[in-house]
Amino acid sequence: MKKLGLIFLFVLLLYGCNFNGETDLSIESVESHSSLEGMIYSEAKDLDLPTHVSVTLSDGSIISVPVQWEDKVFDTLGSTTLVGDLELNDTVSNPQQLHATISINVISRLIIDMLEIKGNYSTLVLALQASELDRVLSLEGPYTLFAPTDEAFETLLTILDINLENFLERDDLEAILLYHLLTGNYSENVLIAAVPGTLTTLEGATIDVRLQGARVEINQSSVVQESIQAKNGWIHKVDRVLVSQSTVDSVIDDIFGNDVLEMFLDVLLESGLPLDILLTGSATVFVPNEDAFTRLLEDLDVDIEGFIMLDGAVELLSYHIFAGSYLADQLYNDAPINIRNIRGDLLRVEVVEGNLMIKDIQVQSTETFGEFGLVHIIDGVLIPPHLQEAWFPND
């Protein structure tokens, strides 16, 4: 009987247990692991993490135990620590509540990859792919990209009155995108340091950089809402598609594109008027028909280039532009009414013998063009009184 008792005691001691069923062995330390590299916005489960770690027990022995790593998304660049729970059996205790840890060096991705991961840039990614500029943004750089959101592109497509497929087939697609791209590392702090100033884009034209409150403003309308550091540069989220003058020329031509408007619009574009009023909201433009504008040039004895050089030419053009949408039906119903142009001048709108007139000039037709607003074709040129006296003193 004594022999059986001694055998039983030996077995208990062999397994490191006392008579109460508690473990005698405990974890003293957990081995440290070399750091791993992880991509920004990747998950811990995507890494090649060790499935077991070595632990040192209270008796000095070293054993390997399974480890369950925490679920984690790496959303901050730099070093971070990943923690794992040790999966122990009943023979080993962990009174110090030790964990496995491993250092993860979170690095950024290329600009094109960051756009795909972040979301809300799907239209921009499609455009970059269609123009093959995605290859450029996969190079070492560094580059700085002003990235319009999907909502910003939706607004532009509405303005242009085209679908995404047609937009991606535009001949000037590459130029539009290059106007959003700089060479160099322009963090938000660097942009703020450049305020107020201009930066030259890869399209060749410049953008204006200013401050709107605490935010950086690009071209007076697109606001930097978020800045993301990529492996090969910076991404700045903007709320509008940036439009260069060359793109404005192309857009205006696409929208109007008929002989009746061509002459007036040529002059409008050449004048240097701030056409962002057309690109940032609704506007109403009273455009003289071709005969009316030709008569004005003949009366002044100048060609278009000569007209541009005249004192008051830009003033005359802006005299025809009104902020807001003035529908023909609305004007009919509200007439007689005075409406104010972008210069601040009030012009009289009346209905005479059933015809809609603005300052005694007849409105012939109306053409809508998406969110730009309206164009009313008129059979004369609206001339400010003081220019009428200066240009035609004998009339």
Domain boundaries, the chain: 14-107, 111-245, 256-391
111-245: CATH number? 2.30.180.10
Planar angle of CA 324, 329, 332, nearest 5 degrees? 100
**pLDDT at res. 282:** 60
Q: How far is CA 33 from CA 60, 81, 88, 148, 313, in A?
A: 20, 11, 19, 42, 75
Contacts of 166 (CB under 8 A, 6+ apart): none
pLDDT in tens, 74-102: 888 889 999 999 999 888 999 999 999 99
d(C-alpha 355, C-alpha 12), whole Å: 110
As a whole number, mean pLDDT of residues 146-168 equals 87
The overall average pLDDT reported for the chain is 82
As a whole number, mean pLDDT of residues 332-356 equals 90
Q: Which of helix, strand or coil describes residue 229?
A: strand
**pLDDT at res. 128:** 96
Question: What is the percentage of the chain residues whose pLDDT exceeds 90?
Answer: 45
**pLDDT at res. 394:** 79
Count how many residues are written for the chain.
Answer: 395
Task: Say how many C-beta atoms besides its own lie within 10 A of residue 163's C-beta.
Answer: 9
Q: Do domains 111-245 and 256-391 have the same CATH topology?
A: yes
Q: Which of helix, strand or coil describes residue 271?
A: coil
**pLDDT at res. 124:** 96
283 with 317: CB under 8 angstroms? no
Band (pLDDT 50/70/90 cuts) for residue 267 is low
67 with 84: CB under 8 angstroms? yes
86 with 59: CB under 8 angstroms? no
d(C-alpha 283, C-alpha 324), whole Å: 5
**pLDDT at res. 10:** 43
Tokens found for residue 225: 């809402």
CA trace torsion 123, 127, 132, 137 (10° rounding): -50
Please say if the pLDDT value at position 125 is more than 50: yes
**pLDDT at res. 4:** 46
60 with 27: CB under 8 angstroms? no
Q: Where are the beta strands (DSSP E) in 275-319?
A: 283-288
Please say if the pLDDT value at position 221 is more than 80: no
Q: In what order do the strands lie in the sheet with 321-323?
A: 321-323, 283-288, 373-378, 361-368, 355-358, 346-352, 337-340
The region of weakest confidence among 52-56, 290-294, 322-326, 375-379 is 322-326
Task: Say how many C-beta atoms besides its own lie within 10 A of residue 372's C-beta.
Answer: 25
Band (pLDDT 50/70/90 cuts) for residue 21 is very low
Backbone angles phi, psi at 73, to 5 degrees: -105, 130
Q: How far is CA 49 from CA 29, 54, 62, 297, in A?
A: 19, 14, 20, 78
Top CATH class, 256-391: mainly beta
As a whole number, mean pLDDT of residues 54-78 equals 91
The overall pTM is greater than 0.85 = no
Please say if the pLDDT value at position 319 is more than 70: yes
Provide, for the chain, the percentages of residues in helix, strand and coil under a 3-state DSSP scheme, each rounded to the nearest 5.
35, 30, 35
345 with 319: CB under 8 angstroms? yes
**pLDDT at res. 370:** 46
Which run of H or of E encompasses 235? strand 233-238
Most confident of 1-10, 321-330, 366-375: 321-330
d(C-alpha 239, C-alpha 153), whole Å: 9
Please say if the pLDDT value at position 292 is more than 50: yes
Tokens found for residue 35: 């750091």
Please say if the pLDDT value at position 384 is more than 80: yes
Please say if the pLDDT value at position 276 is more than 60: no
**pLDDT at res. 127:** 96
Between 159 and 48, whose confidence is greater? 48
- Of 40, 232, 237, 236, nearest in space to 143 by CA: 232
Q: How far is CA 83 from CA 29, 70, 91, 104, in A?
A: 15, 6, 23, 10
Tokens found for residue 328: 């023909």
- Cross-strand partners of 367: 375
**pLDDT at res. 373:** 58
Band (pLDDT 50/70/90 cuts) for residue 234 is very high
**pLDDT at res. 15:** 43
As a whole number, mean pLDDT of residues 175-184 equals 94
Q: Looking up tokens 């060359």, which residue turns up?
A: 246
